[in-house]
């Protein structure tokens, strides 16, 4: 990915990726809905987008100003093949200067305040670097 695309809002995402992201916005998981209710409307001081296309990926939640992606992982992410794909994806996003936080569905459902605390800490860490 060239430098212009790495720093763009969508990282050169293809039209099909935008279409699929739009579909995903209408079928969010319960955990995604819970977290979205805490992120939307700049409740943490920054604009987050949901199901945001970036390159060949769709980020569950993304704040472009912070270059922060938040992913909510379901059971499939426990699969060893999926873990390898997730690791590669994280490396790709890191090369594009995007920080990534990952939480499980259970963490969001059962420990929402701990999840929000970790997100706030990451936001503060990023803000302190700028």
* Structural domains present in the chain: 3-129 (3.40.960.10)
pLDDT of residue 105: 93
Cα–Cα distance measured from residue 62 to residue 54, given in angstroms and rounded to the nearest whole number: 9
What is this structure's pTM?
0.86
Q: For the chain, report the end-to-end CA distance as a whole number of angstroms.
A: 24
Sort strands 99-104 and 68-73 into parallel, antiparallel or unpaired. parallel
Angle at 48 between CA 57 and CA 17, to 5 degrees: 25
pLDDT of residue 6: 57
Q: Are 119 and 70 in contact (CB under 8 A)?
A: yes
Cα–Cα distance measured from residue 50 to residue 53, given in angstroms and rounded to the nearest whole number: 9
pLDDT of residue 112: 98
Q: What is the mean pLDDT of the chain?
A: 88
């Amino acid at each position: 990915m060239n430098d212009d695309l790495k720093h763009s809002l969508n990282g050169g995402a293809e039209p099909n990726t935008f279409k699929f992201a739009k579909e995903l916005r209408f079928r969010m998981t319960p955990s995604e809905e819970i977290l979205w209710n805490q992120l939307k409307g700049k409740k943490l001081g920054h604009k987050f987008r949901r199901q945001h296309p970036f390159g060949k990926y769709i980020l569950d939640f993304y704040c472009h100003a912070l270059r922060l992606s938040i992913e909510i992982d379901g059971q499939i992410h426990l699969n060893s093949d999926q873990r390898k794909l997730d690791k590669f994806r994280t490396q790709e996003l890191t090369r594009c200067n995007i920080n990534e936080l990952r939480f499980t569905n259970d963490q969001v459902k059962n420990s929402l305040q701990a999840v929000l605390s970790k997100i706030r800490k990451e936001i503060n860490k990023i803000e302190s670097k700028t």
